[in-house]
Amino acid sequence: MIDARRLYFTDPCEVEVRTVTLDAPDEGEVVVETTESGISPGSELLVYRGEFPEETAVDETIEALAGTFEYPLPYGYAAVGTVTDCGAGVDESWRGRTVFAFEPHADRFVASTDTLVPLREGVTPTEATLLPSVETATNLVLDGAPRVGEEVVVFGAGLVGLCTVHILSEFPLSELTVVEPVDTRRRLAAQFGADRTITPAAVGSDAAPANTDMVYELSGRPTTLDDAIETVGYDGRVVVGSWYGKKRAPIDLGGSFHRDRISLESSQVSTIDPDLRGRWDRERRFDVAFDHLQTLDTERLCGEAFAFDAAADAYRTLADGTVERPHVTFTYR
C-alpha cells in the first residue's frame, strides 16, 4: 500500500489536501512521484466555484477522471513527475523517466504506462504542465479549419485563448483579432501573434472587425456568444471552446443568426472531429501539441508556483483575478 496526498474540492470555494491510500502498482502500472501540476484556470475555477453541472461525467475518456461532478471531487489533469516504482511486466527503462499524465493534483499516483507521455528532450516539467492547454488549442484549430486569407477573431485571451492565438498566428490569415477586457492579456495576445486587440466594449463599433469569417469564443462567458454572432458575416462560423458549466445567459438568435446562415459549433477536446478520425487520433494530436509547445514563449505564460500545501491560496488568487500571467502551478518538492 502507498500513502499519497491528494487535492479535493469539497464545497464551493473550499479545497482540502487529504491523505489517501493507493494500491501497489499492478501489472503494467507504475508509481509516479509528482514534481509539478498545472491548474486549468477555466474548468478548475468552475469546479472551485461550484458552477459545474451535477451528475455529469467528468471525462469518460480519461480513466483517472472517472466519475461525476459532485463534491468531494479530486480534479486536475496536468501532472508531471518521475516514475519511482514499476509493477509486474513493466520494462525497467520506465524507472526514472519524467512523464506527463492526465491525473488529478496529488503528490504521487499509480497509473498504467499506456496513459503516460514521456517528456521530450528539452521540455521542462513546468512547460509540460501546459500540454493540456496546447492540446486543447490544437483541437480548436482543427475544428475551426481556418483557411487562407480568412479574418479570424478570438474572444478571450486566457491560457487556452493565448495558446490558440499562437497556433493561428502561423496561418496565412488576412487578420487575427483578439477581444479581451484585461489590458495585460491584450498585450500578451499581441506578443503571441494577434494583429490587433480590442476590448469587448468596442464590439459593434467602427473600431471592431465585422463580417469576419470565423470567431472562437474562449472567454468562458456565455454572454459573449451574442458578440461572437454579431462579429461574423454571412455563412460565418462560431467555434465555442468555452465550457460554461451551469452559467446561463439569454442569447439573441432572432436577428441575423438565421438569415446569415451562421454556424455555431462546439469544440470538445475529449473527442476528434469525425471527419478527421481516419487520419488523426489522440496520439497524433498530442505529438502536434508537443511541437507547438516547443515553439511557445512559455515564460510569458507561466506565472506563480504555489506549494501544494498552499492550494487554497492558489485558487483564491486565481478566483480574484490577480495573477499577472495565466498559468499557475503546484510544486511538490
Query: Mind listing the pLDDT tens digit of every residue in the chain (333 residues)?
Result: 899 999 999 999 999 999 999 999 999 999 999 999 999 998 999 999 999 887 777 776 677 667 788 999 999 999 999 999 999 999 999 999 999 999 999 999 999 999 999 999 999 999 999 999 999 999 999 999 999 999 999 999 999 999 999 999 999 999 999 999 999 999 999 999 999 999 999 998 988 899 999 999 999 999 999 999 999 999 999 999 998 888 888 888 888 889 899 999 999 788 888 888 899 988 898 899 999 999 999 999 998 999 999 999 999 999 998 788 899 999 997
Contacts for 259 with CB less than 8 Å, ≥ 6 apart: none
Q: What is the residue-wise DSSP string for 202-232?
A: GTTSTTS--SEEEEEE-SS-TTHHHHHHHHE
Q: What is the pLDDT of residues 145-183, one digit of tens each?
A: 999 999 999 999 999 999 999 999 999 999 999 999 999
Q: What is the DSSP string of 43-99?
A: HHHHHHHT-SPTT-BS-TT-GGG-SBS-SSB-----EEEEEEEE-TT--GGGTT-EE
Find all residues with CB under 8 Å of 274, minimum gap 6, and list them.
Answer: none
Contact 63, 115 (CB under 8 A): yes
DSSP-derived 3-state class of residue 266: strand
